[in-house]
Amino acid sequence: MIVLGIESSCDETAAAIVNDKKEILGECVLSQEEHKSYGGVVPEIAARAHLEHIDEIIEKTLKNANIKLSDVDAIAASSGPGLIGGVVIGVMAGKALSLALNKPFIAVNHLEGHALTARLTSDVCYPYLLLLVSGGHCQILIVKNVGDYERLGTTIDDAAGEAFDKVAKMLNLGYPGGPMIEKMAAKGDENRFTLPHPLSNSGDMNLSFSGLKTAVRKIIESYSPDGKLEHAILNDKDTADICACFQKTAAECLTIKLEKAIRYFKASYPNGKDLVVAGGVAANTYLREALQKLADRHKLLFSAPPVRFCTDNGVMIAWAGLERFQNGYVNDLDFKPRPRWPLDENAPKAAGAGGVKA
Ligand code: KG4
Ligand code: ZN
């Protein structure tokens, strides 16, 4: 079985072809450079750039894989959640190919793409505990099966990647912020500043990054002669130390809640063996090491996709599409792209807002 996947929900235009032997036959990712000077993704610019490049990205992917379109068994497109202008472009391209080739169309939830990637790149079995940390989402979930999720906790404000991006912006490190923060943090002293761990005593598994970001802002402002962030005078060491302290605290916030989630997971799913991290922030080596230690302490197997499959890519959509197809999920061509699409929308509601008690 061979599936072509298309991704266009944020600022990566990407496509990939995978088969049911877990082989990546071809792939191509274009990270849009157009947004750099804006310090964030501009939806309209993103949509236009997707439109301009999507055909050539699909063509390159086919060439890469050395196969013809007619060899593909199904076409999957990232159909939300995301920036709707971009999502529409990928979905339209997917539907057009599906119609022309008379092959099934599969609408993939972008988050499911992140969630299932580790099953392609390692031997992860259902059910598993997942930390999903990207630019737009931050959730702790149990992945019971394809399309079957139990959400234990979520952020009540900023996503983890959003916090990295906002802190990077305050420090003039450019966009996307995560990789730059990680680079600077490697040279910094992670114990110089004490930062808060919001919601750490809340009893549930929800997360919050807004207070952490504000605490970083206050530290930066304290280096400004007039208290204004933009006038702060920071040398390289100050910047590196702030990055290191922020990165350490963000990782701690995540592991504190995961500790609770692991207890719940082990009690509720005694056959579950894996802790998985996915999404753009999963590319962070410091976080991966912290999660490896956490998993070791709790005798779970830790898996993280290779770094290039943590940030948005076509492989994750092709693979999730393939798993959906194998399980008999296909979509009609009138499927409407969804700007919002919770992974657990069909699950029975757990106790408490956005999560269950540990
Ligand atoms: O999954 P992704 O590519 O797009 C979304 O679906 O949101 O995630 C992008 C996010 C950005 O916020 C980016 O700063 C963050 O992932 N990110 C990182 C790292 N690489 C990317 N955050 C921390 N450390 C990294 N090395
Ligand atoms: Zn993503």
Query: How many whole angstroms from 193 Cα to the centroid of ligand 2?
Result: 31
Query: How many whole angstroms from 284 Cα to the centroid of ligand 1?
Result: 9
What's the pLDDT score for residue 39? Answer: 79
Q: Which atom of ligand 1 is nearest to the CA of 110?
A: 6
What's the pLDDT score for residue 272? Answer: 98
pLDDT tens-digit series, residues 203-251: 999 999 999 999 999 999 999 999 999 999 999 999 999 999 999 999 9
Query: How many whole angstroms from 161 Cα to the centroid of ligand 1?
Result: 5
pLDDT at 350 exceeding the cut of 60: no
Residue 197: band (very low, low, confident or very high) from pLDDT cuts 50, 70, 90: very high
pLDDT tens-digit series, residues 97-107: 999 999 999 99
Distance CA(309)–CA(248), nearest Å, equals 23
Q: Flag the least confident range among 74-83, 130-139, 173-182, 345-354.
A: 345-354
What's the pLDDT score for residue 353? Answer: 37
Q: Which atom of ligand 1 is nearest to the CA of 279?
A: 1
Cβ proximity of 27 and 314 under 8 Å? yes
Residue nearest to atom 14 of ligand 1 (CA): 178
Burial 54-71 (b: 16+ CB within 10 A, else e): beebbebbbebbebeeee
Q: Which of 43, 85, 6, 88 is nearest to 337 (CA)?
A: 88
pLDDT at 185 exceeding the cut of 90: yes
Average pLDDT on 102-115 reads 98
Residue nearest to atom 1 of ligand 1 (CA): 280
pLDDT tens-digit series, residues 5-54: 999 999 999 999 999 999 999 999 999 999 888 878 999 999 999 999 99
Query: How many whole angstroms from 27 Cα to the centroid of ligand 2?
Result: 16
Q: What is the mean pLDDT of the chain?
A: 95
Please list every protein residue whose CB sits less than 6 Å from any atom of ligand 1: 10, 134-136, 161, 164-165, 176-179, 182, 279-281, 283-284, 311-312
What's the pLDDT score for residue 48? Answer: 97
Q: Which of 11, 311, 316, 317 to mutate to test the pocket of ligand 1 (most atoms within 8 A of CB)?
A: 311
Residue 303: band (very low, low, confident or very high) from pLDDT cuts 50, 70, 90: very high
pLDDT tens-digit series, residues 307-344: 999 999 999 999 999 999 999 999 999 999 999 999 99
Q: Which of 150, 201, 86 is nearest to 140 (CA)?
A: 150
Residue nearest to atom 10 of ligand 1 (CA): 135
Residue 189: band (very low, low, confident or very high) from pLDDT cuts 50, 70, 90: very high
Cβ proximity of 179 and 243 under 8 Å? no
DSSP H helices in 269-284: none
Distance CA(158)–CA(186), nearest Å, equals 24
Percent of the chain with pLDDT over 70: 97
Q: Which of 164, 243, 309, 341 to mutate to test the pocket of ligand 1 (most atoms within 8 A of CB)?
A: 164
For the CA atoms of 316, 320, 321, 324, the dihedral, rounded to the nearest 10 degrees, stands at 180
Residue 349: band (very low, low, confident or very high) from pLDDT cuts 50, 70, 90: low
Query: How many whole angstroms from 50 Cα to the centroid of ligand 2?
Result: 15
Q: Which of 281, 289, 340 to mutate to test the pocket of ligand 1 (most atoms within 8 A of CB)?
A: 281
Q: Which of 132, 109, 131, 149 is nearest to 321 (CA)?
A: 109
Query: How many whole angstroms from 96 Cα to the centroid of ligand 1?
Result: 30
pLDDT at 110 exceeding the cut of 60: yes
Average pLDDT on 289-304 reads 98
Q: Flag the least confident range among 185-189, 200-204, 295-299, 351-355.
A: 351-355
Residue nearest to atom 19 of ligand 1 (CA): 178
Sheet containing 24-31: order of strands:
24-31, 12-19, 2-7, 74-78, 105-108
Report the run of H or E that residue 6 belongs to, with start and end: strand 2-7
